[in-house]
């Protein structure tokens, strides 16, 4: 944890590589990472920017989704959390943090590669929150493969269903419930613009997320709803240590960017707050790169 309100050198504000070897089974747990990620548990301070809002966040148990959930609760929003049932321990921590802020936390474990569940999940969120005006589609699958010959049809199917199909199913189910002033936020990646050789299927989906969201934003603005994309660079999340990168790459994760370290999830949470809030009222159809200096094209 770091005091984020004190002036600091951003290169040294959080841990820098090398990191210990730390392989995990898919989907990975934040609690097992070394160093532990900062999702804002102690460091994010809210100021009421989302008071009374109602948010659904996928992949909310760890990583960027967890940081967004904590930030939203501290800004005054009630939050529905979508995550895989195997991630329940991490999710329980997030739920406790949301409830500690006096906000409602809706527990929605399930597999978003199932179309029926995606649609039911949205209905549960709307019913239990009493509406929906922030939709964060963030959950993702990333499994590296060294060569095209190793990317199986099963790999491609799982990655596209998690990262693209689920986005469509969830957005399609949610849009009828969103009022004017609502916000849709998707999570892409710098991989959409600078794809790694070992992430063929993942990079493909992230480029698709950018195109889909930009097209969707043109439809939704006719209803007074904004839609934007966040494109992170290397962030310290379980996605990396559970097969998203080779073990050696995890040990050096983030050293290639100008800041020389991976981002911590709390460092990207304010972007999700901005895009959800009325302070972002003139922002739609945009891609926000948060890349430690790598940039996006």
Question: Catalytic site residue 202?
Answer: yes
- Residues 6 or more apart in contact with residue 149 via CB below 8 angstroms: none
Distance (Å, rounded) from C-alpha 172 to C-alpha 242? 30
Q: What sign has the CA pseudo-torsion 150, 85, 68, 175? A: positive
- The torsion region of residue 16 among left (phi > 0), alpha (psi -120 to 50) and beta comes to beta
Active-site position among 44, 202, 212, 272: 202
Nearest CA to 242 out of 3, 33, 89 is that of 33
| H or E stretch at 258 | none
**Helices assigned H by DSSP within the chain:** 63-74, 88-100, 115-129, 153-160, 166-174, 200-220, 238-239, 247-251, 269-276
DSSP-derived secondary structure for 46-67: --STTTT-EEEEETTTSHHHHH
User: Crossing angle of helices 115-129/166-174, nearest 10°?
Assistant: 40
Dihedral of the CA atoms 78, 84, 86, 87 (nearest 10)? -40
List, by residue number, the catalytic residues. 202
């Amino acid at each position: 944890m770091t005091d984020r309100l004190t002036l600091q050198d951003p290169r040294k504000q959080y841990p820098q590589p090398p990191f210990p070897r730390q392989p995990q089974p898919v989907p990975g747990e934040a609690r097992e990472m070394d160093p532990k990620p900062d999702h804002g548990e102690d460091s994010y301070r809210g100021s009421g920017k989302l008071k009374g809002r109602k948010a659904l966040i996928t992949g909310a148990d760890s990583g960027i989704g967890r940081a967004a959930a904590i930030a939203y609760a501290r800004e005054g929003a009630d939050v529905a959390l979508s995550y895989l049932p195997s991630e329940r321990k991490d999710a329980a921590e997030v739920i406790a943090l949301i409830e500690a802020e006096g906000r409602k936390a809706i527990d929605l474990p399930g597999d978003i590669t199932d179309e029926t569940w995606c649609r039911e999940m949205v209905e549960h969120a709307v019913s239990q929150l009493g509406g929906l005006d922030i939709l964060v589609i963030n959950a993702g699958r990333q499994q590296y493969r060294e060569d095209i010959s190793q990317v199986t049809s099963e790999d491609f199917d799982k990655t596209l269903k998690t990262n693209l199909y689920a986005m469509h199913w969830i957005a399609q189910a949610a849009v009828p419930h969103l009022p004017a002033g609502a916000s849709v936020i998707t999570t892409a990646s710098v991989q959409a613009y600078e794809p790694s050789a070992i992430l063929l299927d993942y990079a493909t989906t992230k480029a698709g997320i950018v195109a889909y969201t930009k097209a969707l934003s043109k439809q939704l603005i006719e209803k007074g709803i904004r839609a934007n994309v966040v494109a992170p660079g290397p962030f310290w999340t379980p996605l990396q240590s559970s097969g998203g990168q080779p073990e050696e790459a995890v040990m050096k994760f983030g050293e290639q960017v100008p800041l020389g370290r991976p981002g911590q999830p709390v460092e990207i949470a304010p972007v999700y707050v901005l895009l959800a809030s009325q302070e972002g009222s003139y922002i739609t159809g945009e891609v926000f790169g948060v890349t430690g200096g790598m940039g996006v094209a």
